[in-house]
Amino acid sequence: MRTALILSAATALAAAALSSGGAGAAPAPPKGCLAAGNGYLRAQIRGAVNLDVNWHNAELQCEGGPRPDGSGLRIAFAGPQHADGRRLRLVFGVETVREGRAGHELPTNLTVIFEGENRLFATRGDDHCTVDELRQDRVGALGGPVRVWRVSARGFCIAPASTLSSDARILVSSFDFAGTAVFEDDTSGSSPAPAEAHKT
């Protein structure tokens, strides 16, 4: 059942990403990851594709927030877009961590999407990758219902991510990143008080 849900989510991610460059698509978000200029993503990918990713703030887009089921964080990064529309996107689903909290040895799902190539690799579980260390620092305005955090983390995968048909695999042997996570109060009812943090 869990695998089916993961595959469904991965398929939805792929459909959204692969269609993002089509006619009538929404305008691309502003270039750059974090306003302070300190976003990045580094990753070593081996297998069906061999890549050493080293993206700096100005050349990538990032977004993040709570996972749909509230079980952790989802942080996404998209690298530079090529002239032919191809683009690499990595989505990390980090289990158990909560808003504003640091964490260690966190189980992590990973989805790697090759936009414009109709290729998607997913770990299909949270036991393939681990975030060794994660930190969250509050950025932007401290008041109001919307809270923005800089999320930095490093980790590794011990098992490969595969295509939905399992005919190709890649291993992301190491990764480290700094991106963003946005949290909003639930205006439909009561919500827990935000975690205490220092502003950077």
pLDDT tens string 36-93: 999 999 999 999 999 999 999 999 999 999 998 888 999 999 999 999 989 999 999 9
Domain assignment of residue 130, yes or no: yes
Q: What is the pLDDT of residue 189?
A: 57
Share above pLDDT 70 across residues of the chain, in percent, rounded to a whole number: 78
Q: In angstroms, what is the C-alpha Rg of the chain?
A: 17
Provide the pLDDT confidence category of residue 23 given band limits of 50, 70 and 90.
Answer: very low
Residue 157 has pLDDT above 90, yes or no: yes
Whether residue 103 has pLDDT greater than 90: yes
CA 162 – CA 122 distance, rounded (Å): 5
**Rounded Cα gap, residues 101 and 30, in angstroms:** 28
Is 198 among the domain residues?
no
Residue 69 has a pLDDT of 84
In a domain, 190, yes or no: no
**Taking the C-alpha atoms of 180, 26, 70 and 99 in order, what is their torsion angle to the nearest 10 degrees?**
20
Whole-number average pLDDT of the chain: 84
Question: Measuring CA to CA, which residue among 91, 165, 106, 169 is closest to residue 136?
Answer: 106
Residue 142 has pLDDT above 90, yes or no: no
Asked if residue 167 is part of any domain, the answer here is yes
User: Does residue 188 carry a pLDDT above 80?
Assistant: no
pLDDT tops 50 at residue 19: no
- The predicted model scores a pTM of 0.79
Expressed as residue numbers, the domain containing 6 is 2-19+32-184
Structural domain includes residue 126: yes
Residue 196 counted as domain residue? no
Percent of the chain with pLDDT over 90: 65
Is 111 among the domain residues? yes
Asked if residue 147 has pLDDT above 70, the reply is: yes
pLDDT bracket for residue 160 (50, 70, 90): very high
Domain count for the chain, please give it: 1
- Residue 193 included in any domain: no
Tokens at 7, concatenated:
């595959």
